[in-house]
């Protein structure tokens, strides 16, 4: 991207480049004479700009500046990658010691200190910024790089916000020891995605997928532990015990994710109290299989998720017993919505990053159908709805909560929220519609689908407060 500033020639050149790239992509999928003609017209106009001596000088100067900006950005990225590599090397030394159930040696401790201290100053690239124009260009390019990185993270399953990074850094060592982990939070806050990400960090074999067990539905304890099945063998019918996902994970050394554990049957939760005390190397005697012992392999760990217990919300969920929660010890983490702790009047940086990462292309650019202003406003609306849903009081909270609800101590939204997961789905619907669905239309559909009448009113109030006209 050229540093266009307010120069109309640079602006037009940038627009021509962008449009030509989009037409090229369309031609690769569906070549036809109309697209070919459009591409030729764009190329002709670009050649006209370059053929004018005055324009050529302006464009050449812009390209030279752009090359300088890219050199600085490349150096910044290289330094950041090198520092990340040193931190990862230090973390791997710690992880190896944890997996071996031993303390660090003095040599390992010294090596870790060297790796982490050598990466404390990785900003030599800043010395290459010699003008305000280069500074602005570098900041813009680094922003695009950050968006591309965030988009890649989101495609892999989890946006690495500060909260997520902190939980992972603290929780993974415990998981490597086979200790259980509990993630508690509101709906759509990426608890399951966080659990899946940590499972990939724990298993040594990349192909060893975790067992994911959803608590919803009519799942029974036998489906989790295992059950007997009748099979034909040698002309006779015999009863054979078939291990369930929990026993399979124990035997094979894979993590288990108990998703929405507080929706699981009470009889299984009672068994879970004992199971949560087991560690790799221990043995479980399976009652359903005549007490047959199962040796728990290294790599097994239990990660459980649970929704917040809020009155009038999450029907069908039982409150987890204090005895069960205590089994997780110090490994219970509350997963908050993005930007939690910010005032209602502050800009929601994490929601905005999530929104942009959901729809930018591999160049870090927004699709044509969504403007920066729309992205900022929908990020603010999502943030406000999340805080109102979670009952986070602060300046502006009473604008969205009825007096009756405030007196009763109830949150401003009963059942529905523009959660991070919902925000991503709405934006991707708009971006994937080739311009046929506007953001306002998608938000209208979302609000119309809310079953709770008061929630519809509050969500409409929040969105209209950010300038969206629902229709």
Set out the domains of the chain in order of their start, with CATH numbers.
8-156 (no CATH), 179-335 (3.40.50.300), 349-465 (no CATH)
pLDDT of 397 above 70? no
- Collect all residues with Cβ–Cβ distance below 8 Å to 340 and sequence separation of at least 6: 163, 386, 387, 390, 392
Angstrom CA distances, 83 to 113, 114, 148, 151, stand at: 13, 12, 19, 21
Question: Rounded to two decimals, what is the model's pTM?
Answer: 0.80
- Compute the mean pLDDT over every residue in the chain, rounded to the nearest whole number: 85
- As a residue count, the chain comes to 471
Mean pLDDT for the stretch of residues 67-85: 83
| Start-to-end CA span in the chain (Å) | 37
Q: At what angle do helices 372-390 and 420-431 cross, to 10 degrees?
A: 160
Mean pLDDT for the stretch of residues 50-55: 86
Mean pLDDT for the stretch of residues 213-230: 81
pLDDT of 161 above 50? yes
Q: Tell me the per-residue pLDDT of 288-309, one tens digit each, with 9 for 90 and over.
A: 888 899 999 988 999 999 987 6
Mean pLDDT for the stretch of residues 228-250: 86
pLDDT of 335 above 90? yes
Q: Tell me the per-residue pLDDT of 176-198, one tens digit each, with 9 for 90 and over.
A: 889 999 999 988 999 999 999 99
Query: What is the 3-state composition of the chain as percent helix, strand, coil, each rounded to the nearest 5?
Result: 55, 10, 35
Cβ atoms of 412 and 454 within 8 Å: the answer is no
Q: Which of 64-73, 84-93, 191-200 has the highest mean pLDDT?
A: 191-200
Q: What pLDDT is recorded for position 313?
A: 52
pLDDT of 431 above 60? yes
Burial (0-12, 13-18, 19+ Cβ within 10 Å), 42? buried
pLDDT of 4 above 80? no
Cβ atoms of 219 and 213 within 8 Å: the answer is yes
Q: What pLDDT is recorded for position 471?
A: 79
**316 band by pLDDT with thresholds 50, 70 and 90:** very low
Structure tokens at 29: 């999928």
> Within 13 Å, how many C-alpha atoms sit on residue 111's CB side?
13
pLDDT of 102 above 50? yes
pLDDT of 349 above 70? yes
């Amino acid at each position: 991207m050229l540093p266009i500033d307010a120069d109309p020639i640079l602006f037009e050149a940038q627009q021509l480049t962008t449009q030509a790239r989009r037409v090229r992509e369309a031609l690769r999928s569906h070549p036809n004479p109309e697209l070919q003609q459009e591409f030729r017209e764009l190329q002709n106009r670009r050649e006209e700009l370059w053929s004018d001596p005055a324009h050529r000088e302006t464009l050449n100067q812009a390209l030279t500046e752009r090359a300088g900006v890219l050199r600085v950005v490349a150096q910044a990225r290289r330094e950041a990658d090198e520092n990340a590599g040193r931190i990862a090397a230090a973390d791997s030394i710690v992880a190896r010691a944890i997996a071996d159930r031993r303390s660090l040696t003095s040599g390992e401790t010294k090596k870790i200190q060297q790796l982490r201290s050598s990466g404390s100053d990785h900003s030599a690239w800043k010395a290459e910024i010699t003008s305000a124009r280069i500074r602005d260009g570098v900041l813009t390019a680094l922003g695009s790089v950050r968006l591309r990185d965030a988009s890649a993270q989101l495609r892999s399953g989890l946006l690495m916000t500060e909260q997520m990074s902190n939980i992972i850094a603290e929780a993974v060592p415990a998981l490597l020891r086979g200790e259980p982990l509990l993630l508690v939070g509101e709906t759509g806050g990426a608890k399951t995605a966080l659990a899946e990400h940590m499972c990939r960090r724990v298993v040594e074999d990349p192909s060893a997928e975790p067992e994911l067990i959803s608590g919803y539905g009519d799942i029974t304890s036998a489906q989790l532990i295992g059950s007997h099945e009748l099979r034909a063998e040698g002309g006779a019918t015999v009863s054979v015990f078939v291990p369930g996902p929990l026993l399979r994970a124990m035997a094979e050394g894979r993590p288990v994710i108990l998703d929405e554990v507080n929706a699981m049957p009470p009889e299984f939760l009672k068994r879970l109290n004992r199971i949560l005390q087991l560690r790799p190397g221990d043995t479980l005697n399976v009652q359903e299989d005549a007490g047959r012992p199962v040796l728990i392999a290294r790599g097994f760990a239990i990660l459980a998720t649970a929704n917040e217990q809020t009155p009038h919300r999450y029907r069908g969920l039982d409150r987890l017993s204090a005895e069960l929660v205590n089994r997780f010890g110090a490994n219970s983490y509350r997963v908050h919505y993005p930007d939690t702790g910010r005032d209602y009047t502050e800009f929601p940086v994490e929601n905005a990053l999530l929104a942009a990462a959901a729809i930018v292309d591999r160049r870090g650019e927004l699709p044509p159908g969504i403007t920066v202003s729309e992205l900022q406003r929908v990020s603010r609306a999502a943030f406000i709805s999340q805080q109102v849903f979670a009952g986070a009081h602060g300046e502006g909270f009473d604008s969205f909560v009825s007096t009756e609800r405030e007196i009763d101590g109830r949150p401003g939204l009963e059942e529905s929220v523009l959660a991070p997961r919902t925000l991503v789905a709405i934006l991707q619907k708009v971006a994937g519609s080739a311009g046929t669905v506007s953001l306002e239309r998608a938000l209208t559909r979302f609000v119309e689908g809310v079953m709770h009448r008061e929630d519809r009113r509050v969500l409409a109030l929040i969105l209209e407060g950010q300038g969206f006209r629902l229709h």
